[in-house]
Amino acid sequence: MASSEIDALTQALARLPGLGPRSARRAVLHLLKRRETSLAPLLRALERVNEALSICSTCGNVDTIDPCTVCADPRRDDRLLCVVEEVSDLWALDRSRLFPGRFHVLGGRLSALEGVRPEDLSIDMLIGRIARGGVDEVVLAMNATLEGQTTAHYLAERLETFPVRITQLAHGLPVGGELDYLDEGTLAQALRARRPVS
Amino acid sequence: MASSEIDALTQALARLPGLGPRSARRAVLHLLKRRETSLAPLLRALERVNEALSICSTCGNVDTIDPCTVCADPRRDDRLLCVVEEVSDLWALDRSRLFPGRFHVLGGRLSALEGVRPEDLSIDMLIGRIARGGVDEVVLAMNATLEGQTTAHYLAERLETFPVRITQLAHGLPVGGELDYLDEGTLAQALRARRPVS
B3, A27: Cβ pair inside 8 Å? Answer: no
- Judge whether A190 lies within some domain: no
| pLDDT above 70: percentage of residues in chain A | 98
Please indicate, yes or no, whether residues B148 and B92 belong to a single structural domain of this protein.
yes
Q: Give kind and range of the element (H or E) at residue A11.
A: helix A4-14
B30, A48: Cβ pair inside 8 Å? Answer: no
Interface probe for A, chosen from B1, B34, B82 (most Cβ of A below 10 Å), is B1
| Partners of residue B62 in chain A, C-beta under 8 Å | 29, 32-33
- Judge whether A64 lies within some domain: no
- Domain residue limits at B141: 77-168
Please indicate, yes or no, whether residues A87 and A150 belong to a single structural domain of this protein.
yes
User: CA-CA distance, B155 to A86, in Å (whole number)?
Assistant: 58
Q: Give kind and range of the element (H or E) at residue B77.
A: strand B77-84
Q: Which residue of B has its CA nearest to A95?
A: B1
- Judge whether A88 lies within some domain: yes
Q: How many CB pairs below 8 Å do chains A and B form together?
A: 162
A6, B30: Cβ pair inside 8 Å? Answer: no
CATH (domain of B12): 1.10.8.420
Please indicate, yes or no, whether residues A42 and A110 belong to a single structural domain of this protein.
no
CATH (domain of A164): 3.40.1360.10
Q: What is the pLDDT along chain A (198 residues), one digit of tens a residue?
A: 568 899 999 999 999 998 988 899 999 999 998 989 999 999 999 999 999 999 999 999 999 999 999 999 999 999 999 999 999 889 888 887 888 999 999 999 999 999 999 999 999 999 999 999 999 999 999 998 889 999 999 999 999 999 999 998 888 888 887 878 888 888 888 788 877 776
C-alpha distances out from residue B128 to B31, B137, B146, B166, Å: 47, 15, 26, 16
Burial A178-198 (b: 16+ CB within 10 A, else e): eeeebeeebeebbeeeeeeee
Burial classification of residue B32, based on how many CB atoms lie within 10 Å of its CB (0-12 exposed, 13-18 middle, 19 or more buried):
buried
- Judge whether A194 lies within some domain: no
B62, A33: Cβ pair inside 8 Å? Answer: yes
- Judge whether A150 lies within some domain: yes
B50, A35: Cβ pair inside 8 Å? Answer: yes
- Judge whether A135 lies within some domain: yes
Number of structural domains chain A divides into: 2
Please indicate, yes or no, whether residues A38 and A95 belong to a single structural domain of this protein.
no
CB A56 within 8 A of CB A66: yes
Please indicate, yes or no, whether residues B47 and B113 belong to a single structural domain of this protein.
no
- Judge whether A180 lies within some domain: no
| Partners of residue A35 in chain B, C-beta under 8 Å | 50, 53
- Judge whether B161 lies within some domain: yes
Q: How many CB atoms lie within 10 A of CB B80?
A: 18
Query: ipTM more than 0.85?
Result: no
B42, A12: Cβ pair inside 8 Å? Answer: yes
